[in-house]
A and B are shown apart, each in its own frame.
Chain A
Amino acid sequence: MKRYDAIVIGGGHNGLVTAAYLARAKKSVLVLERRPRVGGAAVTEEIFPGFKFSMFSYVVSLLRPEIIRDLDLPRHGLHILPLESTVTPMENGDYLAAWGDHDETRRELYRHSPRDAEAYDEYGRLMHFMAQAVKPILGMVPPDPTSFAPGDLAGLLKLGRHFRGLGSERLHALVKLMTMSSADFLDEWFETDVLKATKSASGIIGTFLGPRSPGTAYVLLHHYMGELDGVFRAWGFAKGGTGAVSEAIAAAARGFGAEIRCDASVARVLVKNGRAQGVVMENGDELRADTVVSSLDPRRTFLQLLESDHLPSEFVADIKRFKFRGSSGKVNLALDALPSFTCMPGVGRQHRGAFSISPSLDYVERAYDDAKYGEFSRRPYMDIVFPSMIDPGMAPPGKHVMSIFVQYAPYTLNGGWTDAKREAFGDAVVNTVESFAPGFKSLILHRQVITPLDIERITGLSEGNIFAGELALHQLFFLRPAPGWAKFATPVRGFYQCGSGTHPGGGIMGASGRLAAMRILKDGT
């Protein structure tokens, strides 16, 4: 029987990145994906005939540039199309827009508040600096502050020097970003409510927190780290949907010699004498490897793939405590035509960008309040894009696809999710959009509503958390996923983790997958 150097469980983008890097280092690598296609939560599917959707994750920006370079992804079909604008319709019929043209954005802001237009550039500069300051940390294996190992002490020292090297102003800003709520942080800069609401929205994505909850400012920064062709905070679509990103990484991995099997569901990791030996498939087949890597989230990696007697009980307790609390849903629509929004009637360039349904801080905060007590938001926050406007291949000629990212939809809904509740949630979403774009509902040809429970069922992400574990301060860095085990190794020798549930986690970033591969290669398989 063939023995692989490494088996990667799960063909999401991080699993594929790990596989590609290992294969690039001349290892024999096998990727096992449960679903019929690779990608995990970054997949493109033709849900309705002729209409293709980035079913879950829908925008790209955080993908690390070094990965794009190392794996030569453009050669494997990665093509990112820029997403240029964001329009926020307001309840009074006005709007706030951010355009691709910086000066135009400033003029638009000036219309709302001359003071904010002034502050906008300085704010942008600071966030740019901050993202630069945090970037090296994302690329570093977190040192363990509880350890006296020379490597950890050196890592801590390096970290300390890095922070001190930032200078007072940025160091203080960093502390604020790490600890404040996005609403409070933005209050220090801006006065226009709708601007604060729209900016703070990127601080709540994927979290079970409201814009006034401390800790959201960090997620704000996390989303600022996007870098496309060296331009910060630039979001884009992958031509062909986010599935095309996964396909490109898979193609790169195959190019380096990795083998990728779909419809291959792993039941558990084979452990003998405290060492991983391979995996057992659902159908009972055993596959052998020197190293086994899981790209699944921490809960499934440790509580499902392993028997708990292979793990220290404290570690198991830590993993059980790791919070998921999925809060996001998705509504994918096939449209007969593009909707016209009251605030900016007609069809035009605004449809080439995003619509953010975040008219005020109170609006977003109230959406959170509903979820806090176990209901989906009656009037949710939404991030709306029309991928077919940018990539016509996504829909039949003349028709369109509309992607609506929705918050909040709690995984733990009062009374549990049922088909009827799912449709009620879909109705709340559609009706809210209708209130900003009358007539929109009559354009809907098909509708797919995805709840956090659906995300869990389809992708395997526990509780439907899109970051494979909340990006909360106490679940970051050397605490992700558990203290002492944030360096991709696990208590089982030869068994590694590489998913978004490890540092730095979150978004189509690939950093976890890359760092894990580096660690595995350093340990030597």
Chain B
Amino acid sequence: MSRNGGGFDAIVIGAGANGLVTAHYLARAGKRVLVVEQRHSADPSADIGWVPDAVIRDLGLAGAGLRIEEPDPWITAPLEASGGGTLELSRDIGRSAEAIRRISPADAGKWPEFCQRMRTLAGVLERLYLASPPDIESHDVRELARIAGLGLYVRRLGKQTVIDLARVLPMSIAELLDDWFESDVLKGLLGALGVWHLKQGPRSGGTAFNFLHHHAGSPAGVFRPARSNITQALSGISGVELRRGERAAVLAKNGRASGVVLEKSGDAILAPLVVSSADPRATLQPIAFELDPEFARAVDNIKARGVVARGTLALESVPAYATLCIAPSLEYLERAYDDAKYGQDSAAPYVEVQRTDGQLELHVQYVAPGTHGDLLQRVAGVLNVQPNQVQLQAAEQSLYHGELTLDQILFMRPVPGWSRYRTPIEGLYLCGSGTHPGGGIPGAAGRNAARAIL
């Protein structure tokens, strides 16, 4: 094994949005940073999720070609029951209400208040997400003051917000939507966001939280995360060294990280600081012998079951919609989930087509681990296209490196008590979506981690 010095202060594993954000924050603090990425070229698919303003500002991403798509209308859903046509929801709350009025005047009347209430709750999450999670076990006066400040902030938003937070977060998205609306199509397209990347159905508790999590960063009345090219923009800015096509594992001994080892060559690259944006389990399990058994068990217990296949759709002409959602009712979603419970792909999956830069990307849920017999046919059937127009890649593991369930968020993420990006291995940090605040917010975990490290 040859030793390859290089004189780096820090090595970041993974050149996804979070890894690159951490790397650039560290570089800006004067560190020499190497990023090691296993893929040979950047992933061309869009980054889905809220890109926090702070990240854009701090890293000057606006000048680096960052494009954030905010399609209007933001969703289109076919109306089968009412004799064809579509339901289109716009960024303008009033216009959406008008569209909803055609299928349900009652729902249209409630739409503006629903949007406001959800926005307020998502606002609380945003505040929680742009910093390390509150450490409720801390005895540090500053941390206690921060928690008190948070409590006061929430309390100032009004009594209703406090009640909503306590009531809504543990609820199922089906219960929440049934409280408000009657239209199946509307509840289906909103409910889909509640189960987004989750091995749960809309009737499962905690899916209302998942809904709000993915609403964070969007304006009132828009319930799909933004799409951007943040990873591409980050790859374009200078300041860090990026080595592609290399799979790296953490080098740890006697409770201390000393660098990484490259899988292909066996070469070691040394650095006093190693930050991994990879899945916490993939990062930590290979060095389990260095870990306390309790901690290792907690890592093994991270739930990160894959339920999503992503891919592309080839159409002859560019469609009129920006996002097409096939989730016609909550029951449709629930039945799709039922199949997943017993280890099957959904007979009738929830399918969403997302148009970004003229490319049509697919989100298909639920897919089970293992082989996928006729998934392509099923998806093609749902979309009314030929199977050869569909390309899919199913993820065995959660693309979020950890499901966003109530037991795996805030101070419980990635494992209970180790939510502040540190690990028991000195010099080894985590910065990926397996850490707080989790997936669907590219750059947030990376920024929080960098700030914790610095």
B145 close to A (CB within 8 Å): no
Instruction: Using CB atoms, name the residue of chain A closest to B169.
Output: A474
Interface string of A378-421 (1 = CB under 8 A from B): 00000000000000000000000000000000000000000000
B416 close to A (CB within 8 Å): yes
Residues of chain B lying within 8 A (CB to CB) of residue A474: 166-168, 170-171
B442 close to A (CB within 8 Å): no
Q: Is the CB of A372 within 8 A of B170?
A: no
Q: Is the CB of A168 within 8 A of B416?
A: yes
Interface string of B148-163 (1 = CB under 8 A from A): 0000000100010011
Residues of chain B lying within 8 A (CB to CB) of residue A321: 179
Count residues of chain B with CB under 8 A from any CB of chain A. 31
Supposing A369-B338, A473-B170 touch, asked if A175 and B203 sit within 8 A by C-beta, the answer is no
Q: Is the CB of A179 within 8 A of B417?
A: no
Q: Is the CB of B342 within 8 A of A362?
A: yes
Residues of chain A lying within 8 A (CB to CB) of residue B155: 146
Complex: how many Å from CA A489 to CA B280? 49
Complex: how many Å from CA A176 to CA B167? 18
B232 close to A (CB within 8 Å): no
Q: Is the CB of A479 within 8 A of B407?
A: no
Q: Is the CB of A214 within 8 A of B341?
A: no
Instruction: Using CB atoms, name the residue of chain B closest to A145.
Output: B162
A472 close to B (CB within 8 Å): yes
Q: Is the CB of A365 within 8 A of B205?
A: no
Q: Is the CB of B416 within 8 A of A365?
A: no
Residues of chain A lying within 8 A (CB to CB) of residue B301: 188
Complex: how many Å from CA A362 to CA B343? 11
- CB proximity of B343 to chain A, nearest CB, Å: 9
Within 174-216 of B, Cβ neighbours of A (below 8 Å) are at 175, 179, 200, 203-206
Q: Is the CB of A479 within 8 A of B166?
A: yes
Instruction: Using CB atoms, name the residue of chain A closest to B416.
Output: A172
- CB proximity of A169 to chain B, nearest CB, Å: 8
Complex: how many Å from CA A365 to CA B168? 25
Q: Is the CB of A214 within 8 A of B406?
A: yes
Q: Is the CB of A215 within 8 A of B167?
A: no
Interface string of B68-93 (1 = CB under 8 A from A): 00000000000000000000000000
Q: Is the CB of A179 within 8 A of B166?
A: no
B334 close to A (CB within 8 Å): yes
Residues of chain B lying within 8 A (CB to CB) of residue A171: 136-137
Question: Which of B163, B206, B338, B412 interacts with A214 by CB under 8 Å?
Answer: B206
- CB proximity of B300 to chain A, nearest CB, Å: 9
Complex: how many Å from CA A146 to CA B166? 10
Within 301-333 of B, Cβ neighbours of A (below 8 Å) are at 301, 303, 331
Residues of chain A lying within 8 A (CB to CB) of residue B137: 164, 168, 171
Residues of chain A lying within 8 A (CB to CB) of residue B104: none
- CB proximity of A105 to chain B, nearest CB, Å: 24
Supposing A212-B341, A365-B341 touch, asked if A483 and B204 sit within 8 A by C-beta, the answer is no
Q: Is the CB of A179 within 8 A of B167?
A: no
Question: Which of A146, A168, A323, A369 interacts with B159 by CB under 8 Å?
Answer: A146
Interface string of A194-225 (1 = CB under 8 A from B): 00000000000000010011110000000000
Residues of chain A lying within 8 A (CB to CB) of residue B338: 369
Q: Is the CB of A478 within 8 A of B166?
A: yes
Supposing A179-B170, A478-B166 touch, asked if A172 and B341 sit within 8 A by C-beta, the answer is no
Q: Is the CB of B342 within 8 A of A213?
A: no
Q: How large is the interface on A (under 10, 10 to 19, 20 to 34, 35 or more residues)?
A: 20 to 34
Q: Is the CB of A213 within 8 A of B407?
A: no
Residues of chain B lying within 8 A (CB to CB) of residue A175: 406-407, 412, 416
B391 close to A (CB within 8 Å): no
- CB proximity of B402 to chain A, nearest CB, Å: 13
Residues of chain A lying within 8 A (CB to CB) of residue B200: 214
Instruction: Using CB atoms, name the residue of chain B closest to A477.
Output: B166
Residues of chain B lying within 8 A (CB to CB) of residue A483: 163, 166-167
B120 close to A (CB within 8 Å): no
Complex: how many Å from CA A301 to CA B175? 23
Q: Is the CB of A372 within 8 A of B203?
A: yes
Supposing A172-B416, A212-B341, A472-B205 touch, asked if A179 and B179 sit within 8 A by C-beta, the answer is no
Interface string of B408-447 (1 = CB under 8 A from A): 0000100011000000000000000000000000000000
Interface string of A476-488 (1 = CB under 8 A from B): 0011000110000
- CB proximity of A119 to chain B, nearest CB, Å: 11
Supposing A172-B412, A188-B301 touch, asked if A213 and B166 sit within 8 A by C-beta, the answer is no
Supposing A184-B303, A212-B341 touch, asked if A145 and B204 sit within 8 A by C-beta, the answer is no
Residues of chain A lying within 8 A (CB to CB) of residue B331: 373
Q: Is the CB of A179 within 8 A of B406?
A: yes
Interface string of A152-179 (1 = CB under 8 A from B): 0000000000011000100110011011
B405 close to A (CB within 8 Å): yes
Complex: how many Å from CA A168 to CA B155? 27
- CB proximity of A210 to chain B, nearest CB, Å: 8
A180 close to B (CB within 8 Å): yes
Question: Which of B163, B204, B416, B417 interacts with A213 by CB under 8 Å?
Answer: B204
Residues of chain B lying within 8 A (CB to CB) of residue A372: 203, 334
Q: Is the CB of A214 within 8 A of B204?
A: yes
Residues of chain B lying within 8 A (CB to CB) of residue A163: 136
Question: Which of B167, B175, B303, B342 interacts with A479 by CB under 8 Å?
Answer: B167
Supposing A163-B136, A171-B137, A365-B341 touch, asked if A179 and B206 sit within 8 A by C-beta, the answer is yes
Q: Is the CB of A213 within 8 A of B170?
A: no
Complex: how many Å from CA A472 to CA B406? 14
Interface CB pairs A-B, < 8 A, 5: A146-B163, A172-B412, A365-B341, A473-B170, A484-B163
Q: Which 9 A-B pairs have the closest CB atoms?
A: A172-B416, A179-B406, A473-B170, A214-B205, A215-B205, A483-B163, A146-B159, A179-B407, A146-B162
Instruction: Using A146-B162, A209-B205, A215-B205 as known contacts, list a sample of 5 further A-B pairs with CB atoms less than 8 Å apart, ordered by residue number in A.
Output: A146-B155, A171-B136, A175-B406, A176-B412, A181-B204
